Amino acid sequence: MNILITGGAGFIGSALIRFIIQHTEHQVLNLDKLTYAGNLESLSIVKNNPRYHFSQTDITDQNALSTIFEDFQPDAVMHLAAETHVDRSISAAGDFIYTNILGTFQLLEASRLYWQRADKDKHSTFRFHHISTDEVFGDLNTTSNYFTENTPYAPSSPYSASKASSDHLVRAWYRTYGFPILITNCSNNYGPYHFPEKLIPLTILNALAGKPLTVYGNGKQIRDWLYVEDHVRALYMVLTRGTIGESYNIGGHNEQKNIDVVESICALLEELAPTKPNGINKYKDLITYIKDRPGHDVRYAIDASKIQNELGWIPQESFNSGLAKTVIWYIENQEWVKNIQTGEYQNWIRNHYNH
């Protein structure tokens, strides 16, 4: 199979490409604009494999897309390219509207026109898999309910609203044109190669640097954390065995309060990196409560029984083992870290956190 993957230089996209190249015989074309969040060093393990190809392309570029479809002749598209950081969407929503909504529209149209012209075999087996988030559902206020595939959409942030819009476009292309789509909505991922603007990698790196570990509001917000390699296994199962037109929720069965996540990272670092920066007694002394995020969602939690019952997927990694692997990875991969801490990154951290 020829699989066109958008956003393959990002956190989840690069894990997906490493998985497909290492565990299957498929050809992969990674189509990525290489924004601040895209990093080809995350693909160094597969970059010389003859089944891996790369094109630096913006998904809003209609002409480039149609050339790529003609040249690569994909059997499937897995669409991960997006602007993904909620805090950035609050500071400047424009890129989120542009990439997540307009970009998804352009990709859908390029895919549909290609699919309509394809020969009978390709036409009948082609799939467009849209990778989305549980944030489209808004938040849960009680501890007893979960997001299912039937939960109404109620996004809270510019990021989640733009992802919700893209989900609606994808579903409409199925209903209107019969275009063969699949949608997955996953909870928060964590693991190696995660850009350090998100909670887990930011906390690990700030702790190692002796900087404040910033917790928004009261720190009691809940996220359902899933190890990224469990997510990519689920994505591959849905692509190859999911039912066209359906959506699947993917989650870790692993609800954690933000403050507990930060404290767990501190405890792991006490063992794994006992030599601390000057003046630091305990890593957890660095925990600093700051002003809450506007519109902050209180709780996300996924009911993943559909993908479990229909496709047999369950997460393999426990939070304790996954978090330990992640902390060790960041300690051992300072070169990767140094190379992404560019001027743009430093500016974001300085402006957003004042440190």
Which of 166, 185, 221, 256 touches ligand TYD by CB under 6 A?
Answer: 221
Strands 247-250 and 181-186: parallel
Query: Judged by CB under 6 A, does residue 331 bind ligand NAD?
Result: no
Please tell me which residue in 32, 58, 83, 134 is annotated as part of the active site: 134
Closest among 151, 138, 152, 185 to 166, alpha carbons compared: 185
Which of 9, 17, 215, 301 touches ligand TYD by CB under 6 A?
Answer: 215
Q: How far is the CB of 353 from ligand TYD (least distance, A)?
A: 7
Total residues binding ligand TYD (CB under 6 A): 12
The CA distance from 98 to 104, in Å, is 9
Contact positions with ligand NAD (CB under 6 A) in 96-115: 99, 103
Widest pairwise Cα distance in the chain: 68
Q: Which does 202 bind (CB under 5 to 8 A by kind): ligand TYD, ligand NAD, none?
A: ligand TYD
Query: Per residue, what are the HEC states of 274-313?
Result: CCCCCCCCCHHHHEEEECCCCCCCCECCECCHHHHHHHCC
- Cβ proximity to ligand TYD: between 46 and 200 the closer is 200
Q: Which two three-digit tokens encode residue 354? A: 């004042």
The CA dihedral of 154, 157, 158, 160, to the nearest 10 degrees, is -50
Query: Judged by CB under 6 A, does residue 203 bind ligand NAD?
Result: no
Please tell me which residue in 32, 135, 139, 255 is annotated as part of the active site: 135
Q: Which does 299 bind (CB under 5 to 8 A by kind): ligand NAD, ligand TYD, none?
A: none
- Number of CB atoms found within 10 A of residue 342's CB: 11
* Residue bearing tokens 């009261």: 218
Q: Which two three-digit tokens encode residue 134? A: 């549980």
Told to judge if 135 belongs to the known catalytic residues of this protein, a careful annotator would answer yes
Which of 5, 13, 208, 287 touches ligand NAD by CB under 6 A?
Answer: 13
Contact positions with ligand TYD (CB under 6 A) in 267-326: 293
- Cβ proximity to ligand NAD: between 110 and 186 the closer is 186
* Residue bearing tokens 């290609």: 114
Terminal Cα distance for the chain, rounded? 47
Please tell me which residue in 146, 159, 227, 300 is annotated as part of the active site: 159
Query: Judged by CB under 6 A, does residue 37 bind ligand NAD?
Result: yes
Q: How far is the CB of 206 from ligand TYD (least distance, A)?
A: 8
* Stretch of 34-42, 117-125, 213-221, 328-336 lying at the interface with ligand NAD (CB under 6 A): 34-42
Any idea what DSSP says for residue 77? E
Query: Judged by CB under 6 A, does residue 192 bind ligand NAD?
Result: no
Told to judge if 159 belongs to the known catalytic residues of this protein, a careful annotator would answer yes
Closest among 84, 9, 23, 6 to 236, alpha carbons compared: 23
The CA distance from 31 to 69, in Å, is 11
Which of 195, 236, 248, 330 touches ligand NAD by CB under 6 A?
Answer: 195
Any idea what DSSP says for residue 243? P
Q: How far is the CB of 166 from ligand NAD (least distance, A)?
A: 8
Residue 184 burial class via C-beta count within 10 angstroms: exposed 0-12, middle 13-18, buried 19 and up: buried
Task: For residue 4, give Cα distances in angstroms to 56, 139, 221, 280.
Answer: 13, 32, 36, 47
What are the residues binding ligand TYD (CB under 6 A)? 86, 188, 198-199, 202, 214-216, 221, 223, 258, 293
What are the residues binding ligand NAD (CB under 6 A)? 6-7, 9-13, 32-35, 37-38, 58-60, 80-84, 99, 103, 131, 133, 163, 186, 188-189, 195
Catalytic residue set: 134-135, 159
